[in-house]
A and B are shown apart, each in its own frame.
Chain A
Amino acid sequence: MTRYMIRSKKEREFRECYALHYPAVLGYLVSKVGSIDDAEDICQEVFIRLYGNLEKVRDRRSWLMTAARFEITNYFNKKATARSDAADIDDHQDDPGLAAQDSFAENRIIIRDVIEDPANYEDEKERILFDLIAIYQFSYKEAGRYLDLTRWQAEYKYRRIEKRILARLNEKGIKELGDLL
């Protein structure tokens, strides 16, 4: 009976975790792999791994993203193809040419640091909302549907995150977004 309760609790927790992280994990995989079918297969593997480690994992978002990266490497190793399309964009963008040209690479690092700063997000849901809207360009309605928010709640929350990020950029000496664009 106790085992059953533990199991059902684990499943409930897993379901909640899946609901929260599915769009961001799959979005990341599609952007790297290029094929939605392959991305879905990898997504399954990632979540199956999570299920096996659910009790041990604390920061689930980071864990899932690391597992996704690992599975992507496996995928390309299996396919024996180069990682051209899926290669980390960071490597392309931190290209020596681009770095040499101007402060592009430097600005990019600042922006990435600010975006990754957990202080900008009140909870995991906000972080995922930001990823979905700003990075994967979901509409407020689409993002809200995954996160149990109305379109207006999603927009309101996103605007707040955006304000915090802009304030952080401001602290780093970037007064106007136009300076970076």
Chain B
Amino acid sequence: MSKIEKNGSLGGLLGQYGLDAPLSPEIRARMAGDYDLVYRKISEKTVRPALIAALAAWIFFLVKKAGIPVPLAKMTAAAAVTASVCAGAYIAMNAPMSTPPAQEIAQTVTIRPFVSRSLDAKAGVACAEALRQALDDTYGRGFSRLASGPGMGNSRWAVFGAVEKSAGSVVMIVKIVDARTSRTVFMSEEKCAAQGDCDSAAGRVVKKFAGWKGKTKSPR
């Protein structure tokens, strides 16, 4: 833990607002250890073409200097053949043995438990579950899933939402994000009379979603 975090001022503020990205001491140690290695790899990749060209030129002039009667045309042809063979060998050596097949999309939508400040965590999970049920009822079983961990599986869309108590009713806010581009593609807000009535609100959200989905290209 760094000193600033202990002091809690600006570092704490950034942490509070999700503007920091703390790296563990192990990662930081590895970064420091690999500093030279990464630079060496970059140098190898950037310098290689120039090095090959310089070597070729050096060999050409060496042959010329030695007085070997090789005409420029023959030399160029030989260089071209050698380059093709080397390039072929290089590609063959670097090509993967087998390309892993693209992973199939298991569920199209992953729903995160809804957040809530005015209601308990169970209400958030219940709303997410209601939305999952409504989506599966409309698009078939397996269309959506509830997120069980930090990942999104291979889902096309991620659903974030909130449920809050507001003047005698409950408001459900849903945002759908394209998981590959992080762009918000759909947003909706629905009111329901009581906490237990979130099924109908979820149904209305899915209806709106269906309207949006009908207008767009979708994987399913």
Residues of A that sit less than 8 Å from B by CB: 7, 15, 18, 22-23, 26-28, 30-31, 36, 40, 43-44, 47-48, 51-52, 73, 76-77, 80-85, 87-89, 91-93, 95-98, 100-101, 104, 107-108, 111-112, 115, 133-140, 142, 145, 155, 158, 162, 165-166, 177, 180-181
Contacts and interface: CB of A to CB of B under 8 A. Distances in A.
B117 A140 contact: no
Contacts, number: 180
Given A47-B42, A82-B151, A98-B115, A92 B31 contact: no
13 contacts: A27-B23, A31-B23, A40-B34, A82-B154, A84-B110, A89-B18, A92-B160, A93-B17, A96-B189, A115-B19, A134-B10, A137-B5, A181-B13
B21 A135 contact: yes
A115 B19 CA distance: 10
Given A77-B180, A87-B179, 9 more contacts: A82-B180, A84-B153, A87-B158, A89-B18, A95-B175, A96-B160, A96-B173, A100-B171, A115-B14
B182 interface: yes
How would you classify the secondary structure of chain B's contact residues: helix, strand, loop or mixed? Answer: mixed
Nearest to B174: A96
B177 interface: yes
Interface residues of B, number: 65
A93 B19 CA distance: 9
A100 B158 CA distance: 19
Contacts of B20: 134-137
B171 to A, nearest CB: 8
B73 interface: no
Contacts of A111: 13-14, 17, 19
A87 B30 CA distance: 24
Contact of B179 (A7, A28, A82, A108): A82
Given A91-B184, A97-B114, A82 B153 contact: yes
Nearest to B171: A100
A22 B114 CA distance: 38
Nearest to A51: B46
Nearest to A155: B3
Contacts of A139: 2-3
Nearest to A88: B182
B42 to A, nearest CB: 5
